[in-house]
Each structure stands twice: as structure tokens, then as C-alpha cells.
Amino acid sequence: VEANAAWAEEVRALARKRDAVLLAHNYQIPEIQDIADFTGDSLALSRIAASSDASTIVFCGVHFMAETAKILAPHKTVLIPDARAGCSLADSITGAQLREWKAQHPGAVVVSYVNTTAEVKAETDICCTSSNAVDVVRSIPADQEVLFCPDQFLGAHVKRETGRDNIHIWAGECHVHAGINGPELAERAAANPDADLFIHPECGCATSALYLAGEGTVAPARVKILSTGDMVTAARDTKASTVLVATEIGMIHQLRKAAPEIDFRAVNERASCRYMKMITPAALLRSLREGADEVHVDLETAARAKASVQRMIEIGK
């Protein structure tokens, strides 16, 4: 199946017939991003899913994102074009592991990144995203212990920003972002001294970027630690003519659309998420034709998970 005009027409017609809204994450292949009704970061898409009038959501992204949409809109049908599209970060902690960790720290407040399964969210006090993790942790009284999971690099960022020493960080990581390393970033930054650096906090290189700023290799104002959605906003605002982007390479497509005059370059061109790329034109077509793969979350887990997502929404954006 090729993403040509006939494909696009069939996708649109089937979506209309199913009363479906098509959502695509910023890491999807360009053809999927372009056919979607909305493209964005994981949280923005879940919110659109919850507020849209459509009775069916087709979530072109990974499984935890489609699950979050289902948690926020339990009465809607949520489809993911390939249910095998997982996430190495969400897989790095299970509900049982989190329960065991909590038992070792009674009374601690659990903060989990949205890149987690519904089961983990159900064991969580407050969810967070890459753009609000610092605010979420700041909202917790300073004398209360915090368990932060599952991403160690986002955790390190939060710890640095809040200066908190009673925060315990789970040692999980995303294999794609962990692979974008400091030496590679340092080399790119040195070769492009006027470029802005847009860095996703899941990157292993986020600490190195701040180090480069600290030692004066890069102007501190040029280092921006951002979620994928915030990268699009920053692209519209920056005066830089070149931007080095440290995240999954699918992101470059939305950035170029938002600011065509800027030269966006991936810090690591091999940083491609194989799970995101499972959502192919053929998979989307099959999903719409067959009404598959449907995402289910049992009602009790969904209700508990929803409470942690809602607490986050009440704290900030």
C-alpha cells in the first residue's frame, strides 16, 4: 500500500463513515502526520481525543498513548492501527514493580510520566509530561518523599531543576533517546555555534547540553529542554537560522512545517523509534476497514488512572 491520492481518499472516506477523528503523534512518518486531523504531543492528542465530538478515535502513535485516550474517553471506541506498537520506556516499569517500590517507601508521592501503562498510572498519585514534570514535582510539599518513574533522564532534569534531594528516580529509559549521546551533541554544537539546541528531556545528552552551556561552549539561552509539542511553539518563536534537534527524527517534519525558513538538523539521524514506525499507510487502512486494533482498559483501572491524569491537569498545562 502506497500513501498516494487513492489511499488518502479511501482513508478519509472510511474515517467519515466510522465517525472517526485521526490523531498522529509528532514521531509518525510524514504521510501519517499529513493525513491526520491533528498532529501533536502525547498529552495534547489525548486531550483532543477526550473533547472531540467523534465517537471513534484512531490513534496513530504507540499503545500507551491510545490507552491514555481511552482512559480520558472511556465511552469512545479507540483504535490503534497496530497494537504491537509498544514503548521501551513504558515497558521499563510494571504495575507490580511499582507496588513493590511503593511498599519500600510508605507515604511517598508517586509521580509517573505519561509514557506508562494504564496499570502503572492506576498506581500513581500524579502523572506528568515532559513539559510539566518540574511544576508537578514543585506542587508536592518539600518535606514529602517523591518516587519518580520511569525515565531516569527526565528524573535527573526534574531533580536538577527543583534542587530536591528526597526524590527517588526509577532507572528506566527510552532506547531511542538514551542513544542520543553527549559527545555527539557536543561535536554538533561546536560545528554550529549559532544554532539553537532543542532537546527532549528523555535524551541521555540533556545533562551534557547544560554542561556545555555551563562551560561556555554554547550560549545558555540557546539550550532549550522541550517536549515535542513545545518544540513546535519554540520553532515559531526562535530567531536562530539553524536548530539542532535532539529527539526522534519524525519530529523534524512538524518543525519544518511550522518554520520552513529554519534549517532543522537531527543531532542523531539514526534516532528512529521502530514502534512509532509500525503505523504504516497499510496499517492505517486496515484499521479503518476492519475497526482494529481496539484498545481496552478495564473500568476500575481506567478510573484510578484517570484520577492521576486529572490531578496533573489541575496543576498546570
Which is nearest to 46 in space by CA: 310, 238, 316, 311? 310
d(CA 292, CA 106) in angstroms, rounded, equals 41
Residues in the chain: 317
DSSP for 167-227?
EEE--B--HHHHTS-HHHHHHHHHH-TT-EEEE-TTSTTHHHHHHHHHHTSS-GGGEEE--
Contacting ligand 13P within 215-234 (CB under 6 A) = 227-228
What is the pattern of x (binds ligand 13P, CB under 6 A) and - over residues 68-107?
----------------------------------------
Closest CB to ligand 13P among 264 and 288?
264
d(CA 8, CA 214) in angstroms, rounded, equals 48
Task: Report whether 85 contacts 77 (CB < 8 A).
Answer: no
Exposure on the CB side of residue 108, measured as CA atoms within 13 A? 23
The residues, ordered by sequence, that sit 6+ positions from 131 with a Cβ below 8 Å of its Cβ are 41, 43, 226, 227, 229, 230, 317
Kindly calculate the radius of gyration of the chain based on its CA atoms and give it in whole angstroms: 19
- The entry of ligand 13P, ligand SF4, none that residue 227 binds, CB within 5 to 8 Å by partner kind: ligand 13P
- The entry of ligand SF4, ligand 13P, none that residue 275 binds, CB within 5 to 8 Å by partner kind: ligand SF4
196 binds ligand SF4 (CB under 6 A): no
Tell which one of 67, 82, 202, 293 touches ligand 13P (CB under 6 A).
Answer: 202
d(CA 167, CA 154) in angstroms, rounded, equals 12
Task: Report whether 14 contacts 47 (CB < 8 A).
Answer: no
Residue 37 backbone phi and psi in degrees, to 5: -75, -35
174 binds ligand 13P (CB under 6 A): yes
Only segment of 35-43, 134-142, 160-168, 260-268 that touches ligand 13P (CB under 6 A): 35-43
CB of 176 to ligand 13P, least distance (A): 7
End-to-end CA distance of the chain: 39
CB of 26 to ligand 13P, least distance (A): 6
117 binds ligand 13P (CB under 6 A): no
Number of residues that bind ligand SF4 (CB under 6 A): 12
268 binds ligand 13P (CB under 6 A): no
- The entry of ligand SF4, ligand 13P, none that residue 41 binds, CB within 5 to 8 Å by partner kind: ligand 13P
87 binds ligand SF4 (CB under 6 A): yes
Closest CB to ligand SF4 among 240 and 293?
293
- The entry of ligand SF4, ligand 13P, none that residue 57 binds, CB within 5 to 8 Å by partner kind: none
Residue 57 backbone phi and psi in degrees, to 5: -110, 125
Tell which one of 20, 48, 54, 89 touches ligand SF4 (CB under 6 A).
Answer: 89
Only segment of 6-14, 39-47, 293-301, 305-313 that touches ligand 13P (CB under 6 A): 39-47
Q: Which three cell numbers stand for residue 246?
A: 535532539
Residues at the site binding ligand SF4, with contacts judged by CB under 6 A: 62, 87-89, 115, 174, 176-177, 248, 273, 275-276
Residues at the site binding ligand 13P, with contacts judged by CB under 6 A: 26, 41-43, 115, 129-130, 174, 177, 202, 227-228, 248
